[in-house]
Amino acid sequence: MIHLPPLPGTPFFEPGSLQRIVDVAVQSARALEAGGADGCLVQTVDRVYSARDESDPARIAAMALVVSGVSQATGATFQVGVQMMRNALRASLAVAKVARASFIRAGVLVGATLSEHGLVEADPLQVMEYRNKIDARDVKIIADVHSGQFRWPLAGKSPAEVARAAKLVGADAVALSHAEEDQLLALVRSVREATPSLPIYLAGNTHHDNVQRLLAQADGAFVGTCLEKGGWGGPIDRERVESYVGRVRALEQ
């Protein structure tokens, strides 16, 4: 994870800070690559968001500048992702296509979820039509199905069923999380059984102490706090990345 401070076009943007935001993001991406990570997810952290699939033009332009800088500073095999929260999926696709990123993370691709910014409702038809319109079928979509960003609001649909629905509309992989390790592993097993061919990424809650147990069951993870200097939102520390990735690579031996 590369967590960005508020961008232009948002209420809490600090005037004059954009170049610093770009520079820190590029430094963090280089630290991740040098530490052995396979890629990064560049995520906006603007504090307040629209619940709709929309984004201010200045914010989109700034995100494209950041992601382009990250893409240019890293190698061809380093996977760069885009997530413009709360759920600006078309803007994320546009940035990914223009800035040569390889995937986006979709907080709400199917169904709906309640958030502090209102009810976030999916419109997968609109998203997939736009993906085709800008020739972005090569940009993969990782859809949250149970995480801090997505909870099915009504009873009767399990995360495994949400994963099946996400795959049906075009998701290339799914993301899930849970604070309790046993429950997280149970979620992974249920989704794997329902959609055997769909990659599963852990959306948080991994760290150096549990990564081997958790990633033995999943295909990857979005990792933030345990790699950042000074806590959440800080720059990435290469040594922490090397330690984390070393434990992951040991699973392959």
Q: What tens digit of pLDDT does each residue of 17-64 get?
A: 999 999 999 999 999 999 999 999 999 999 999 999 999 999 999 999
- Torsion region of 115: left, alpha or beta (phi above 0 gives left; psi -120 to 50 gives alpha): beta
Q: With 90 as the cut, is the pLDDT of residue 233 above it? A: no
Q: Please state the pTM of the whole predicted model.
A: 0.96
- Measure the CA–CA gap between 3 and 224, rounded to whole angstroms: 8
Q: With 90 as the cut, is the pLDDT of residue 234 above it? A: no
Diameter over CA atoms, the chain: 50
- Measure the CA–CA gap between 127 and 130, rounded to whole angstroms: 5
Residue 26, pLDDT score: 98
- Measure the CA–CA gap between 163 and 109, rounded to whole angstroms: 10
Residue 212, pLDDT score: 96
Collapsing DSSP to helix, strand or coil, 169 comes out as helix
Q: What tens digit of pLDDT does each residue of 52-101 get?
A: 999 999 999 999 999 999 999 999 999 999 999 999 999 999 999 999 99
Q: With 80 as the cut, is the pLDDT of residue 154 above it? A: no
> Could you give the domains of the chain?
2-244 (3.20.20.70)
Confidence of residue 10 (pLDDT cuts 50, 70, 90): very high
Confidence of residue 230 (pLDDT cuts 50, 70, 90): confident
